Amino acid sequence: MKTKIYLLVIATFLTSSFGCAAKSVEFQKVTSLTNRIEVMGLTLLPPQEEGWEYKKITLARTQFGKVGAHKDQSLAGLVVLSKLPNIGSKEKFMKVVSEQRARNTGNPRFENLINDEVFSAEKDTPAVRYHTKYKDFGAINLPKGAKYLIVEDIGIMCRHPENQNVGVTIALSQRSLPEDAIENFEELANEFIKNAEFIPLSK
């Protein structure tokens, strides 16, 4: 029997997020791929494949999770609002997001494979698209005999169009042995991001 462990390996942006955590929130099964889920300031569809679950931690933070087809394989998703400082230029916006996403690259536990960041206007608001992939030699669920797990994150950090001091992160992540990585993961993550739509924050 597979253990339900959703390892949220996506980097959490910025130091202060909105809302207070709910008590004993449980994951719920996604029963329809066409029913939109509302988070403060936006709505979105769940990842477009069967087997996902989600839980609303606060009004401004929702997590998704799925047990993979292979042992020690998991997928996770995150939608969260957070506070942004006043940022004037595109360059400063990129710098703030990049600094918040930075890991300790000197840690021997990790070996970077991909670490891409690009400015994006796909949501009609300033945003940074990112794609990271790295080896994790110290994963807590590393199978016996395996050297490392592969961790891959694809996401976007946007400024909410209604308030320049509100950031919105939408991201999907997979963690698995190298040979078990999902081949269509990039397509799945891009669709998850594309399906998110902004709504008024005060709704």
Sole residue written with tokens 């997020």 = 17
Q: What is the pLDDT of residue 55?
A: 95
145-174 mean pLDDT: 94
Residue 21 in any domain: the answer is no
Strands (E), the chain: 28-29, 37-39, 42-44, 53-58, 61-67, 74-83, 110-120, 127-136, 149-159, 166-176, 197-198
R_g over Cα of the chain: 17
- pTM of the model as a whole: 0.86
pLDDT band at residue 122 under the 50/70/90 scheme: very high
Q: What is the pLDDT of residues 91-121, one digit of tens each?
A: 888 888 887 777 666 788 999 999 999 999 8
Residue 8 in any domain: the answer is no
Task: Find the angle CA(117)-CA(122)-CA(128) to the nearest 5 degrees.
Answer: 25
Q: Is 188 helix (H, G, I), strand (E, B) or coil?
A: helix
Residue 164 and residue 128 in contact, taking contact as beta carbons nearer than 8 Å: no
Q: What is the pLDDT of residue 107?
A: 82
Q: What is the pLDDT of residue 90?
A: 84
**For residue 24, is pLDDT > 90?**
no
Q: What is the pLDDT of residue 18?
A: 52
Q: What is the mean pLDDT of the chain?
A: 86
What distance in Å separates the CA atoms of residue 13 and residue 155, rounded to the nearest whole number?
A: 11
> Which domain CATH number covers 141?
3.40.1000.10
| Domain of residue 119, residue span | 31-198
Q: What is the pLDDT of residue 15?
A: 34
**For residue 1, is pLDDT > 80?**
no
Backbone angles phi, psi at 101, to 5 degrees: -85, -15
When divided into structural domains, the chain yields a total of: 1
Residue 12 in any domain: the answer is no
What distance in Å separates the CA atoms of residue 132 and residue 116, rounded to the nearest whole number?
A: 6
Contacts for 194 with CB less than 8 Å, ≥ 6 apart: 122
Residue 68 in any domain: the answer is yes
Q: What is the pLDDT of residue 12?
A: 38
